[in-house]
Structure 1
Amino acid sequence: MPSFQTKLKITGLKPGNAPESVMAAAVEALETRHHVESNQLDIVGGVPQISLRFTVGDRDYSGENDEARTSAAMMRDAVERVAVTGSLYVLRRSRGRWSPV
């Protein structure tokens, strides 16, 4: 199974939401479609960024990438219910490196 990673900048919380709700929304959304291998919060250039690593079922290369992009967009939609987001990145693990999809 190919491994993907999505990274999403978080620029603020929406009123009434705890910081923990951001990661919870992201993981919950991705888990509806994929196995989430790991998640973490980093501060990149002073901006919080969540990263989730997940697998996509075996298909053709292009189909796997499309599914990963669709799932990452769905995850962002879920997070936007509790937070204000910035840039979204989707990366694929290939030969020991992460490459943009």
Structure 2
Amino acid sequence: MTMGSERPYGSLYTKIENRIAHIEFGHPASNSFVTELLNRLANEFDALSDNNDVSVIVLKSEGEQVFCAGASFDELVAISNLEEGKAFFGGFAKVINAMPCDYV
């Protein structure tokens, strides 16, 4: 079994320690973000922003190689209409909008 077939939607783990949430993500294709993984990351940011036990969020990739190759190339080339294109390109916007921001 290849790594890609084990985790086709990637992985996302969160550990909270000393008011710091560490989110670690991974995907077999150079830590690229497939739509499912982007949605899970946005949901995790939403949940952590409501958690009073978290003051800082650290986002890191799995492994020692590239941080993130960006959006999934396989999903990009599979786009066949405007609605699919909007959904694909809106994935990163959803994550950015979900990132909690507090200014002191």
TM-score band by shorter chain is: 0.3 to 0.5
Q: With a CA cutoff of 8 Å and minimum separation of 6, indicate the structure with the bigger relative contact order.
A: 1
Structure 1 or 2, whichever has the larger Rg, is 2
Structure 1 or 2: more strand by fraction: 1
Structure 1 or 2: more helix by fraction: 2
Q: Normalised by the size of structure 2, how large is the TM-score?
A: 0.32
Q: Normalised by the size of structure 1, how large is the TM-score?
A: 0.32
